[in-house]
Amino acid sequence: MIDKILQFNCPSCGKIRNYINEISFLKSVRKKLKCNVCCQLGKKYPNRKSPTLTDEQRKKMIKNLNTGIPWNKGKVGIYSKETIEKIRQKSIGRKHKEETKKCISEKLKNRIISNETRLKMSKNSRIYQLKRLTELQIPPHEDRGSREYFQSLNEKGFNFKSKTFFELGYVADGYDENNHIWVEFDTPYHRFPTQKEKDIIRQQNIIEHFEQIKHPLKQFIRVSANKTGCVLNEECVYKGDI
C-alpha cells in the first residue's frame, strides 16, 4: 500500500490532482501540465465542464490503484450493440498507410516467439477448429478401413470409438474409455516424412497430457494400413501403469 499521495493543482482550473508516482508529479510541476479535461477544452468538447470528484470517489480510485485490479475486470457488455455496430461500420474498408504497413512489417520481422508460445498458439488453433466443426455438425474424418478394424476389436470385448478431446485439440481414431487405450489408424499418407514428424509431436502431446493429469494411458497403439484399408502392422509405442 502507498501511504504518501502527492498533490498538484491544475494551473488552468485549479483542480487538485493526486499523484502516486513521484516522477510523474515532478514532471507536472516542472512543465505546469494541465489536467486531461482542460487539455480537451476548446478542441473536441468546447462546452465540456470540468467534473468534480468527491472524497469517496477519490478514495475508491486510490484503493483500486493500490490493489492493481483493472477497471474493466468482471464487466460484461461495456459497449452497447449500437456502439459496436458503429465501430464495425467505420472499420469496414479501412486501409493502413504505406508508412504504417512498413512499421508493422518491421516489427513482425524482428518479433521472436518462444517455443512455449508457439505450442500455445498451435493448441488454441486446434481447439478452435474442433469447436467450429462441432458447431457446424461436421463429423471427423474417417480413414478407409478404420471402421472395420475397430469393429473387429469391439467383437473381442473392447469398446473403441472415435472421440474428440477439446482440452487437447485432437480427435482419437479409436479410444477405449474402459481400458484407457488410444489407437491411431495410419494410412499411407502418414508415412510421408513431414507427416511423420507431426504424428510424433501429436503422440508426445497426448501421452504427456495424460501423464500431467496423473491418469496415464495404459497403451498407445499405432496401426499401419495400406490404400485399401488392410492392416499391415500393429505397434504399441507406449505402455503406462497397468
Residue 142 has pLDDT above 50, yes or no: yes
Question: 119 or 197: which carries more pLDDT confidence?
Answer: 197
pTM: 0.55
The mean predicted confidence, pLDDT, of the chain is 82
pLDDT at 77: 61
pLDDT at 5: 72
Summarize pLDDT for 223-239 with one digit per residue, the tens. Answer: 999 988 899 999 999 98
Residue 75 has pLDDT above 50, yes or no: yes
What average pLDDT does this structure show over 20-49? 71
pLDDT at 12: 79
CATH 3.40.1350 in the chain: give the residue spans.
146-239
Question: Distance (Å, rounded) from C-alpha 197 to C-alpha 174?
Answer: 21
Question: 166 or 240: which carries more pLDDT confidence?
Answer: 166
Residue 185 has pLDDT above 50, yes or no: yes
In the structure, what pLDDT confidence band is assigned to residue 141 with cuts at 50, 70 and 90? confident
Residue 150 has pLDDT above 90, yes or no: yes
pLDDT at 186: 92
CATH T-level assignment (fold) for domain 146-239:
Trna Endonuclease; Chain: A, domain 1 (3.40.1350)
Residue 192 has pLDDT above 50, yes or no: yes
pLDDT at 47: 53
pLDDT at 110: 75
Residue 86 has pLDDT above 80, yes or no: yes
Residue 147 has pLDDT above 60, yes or no: yes
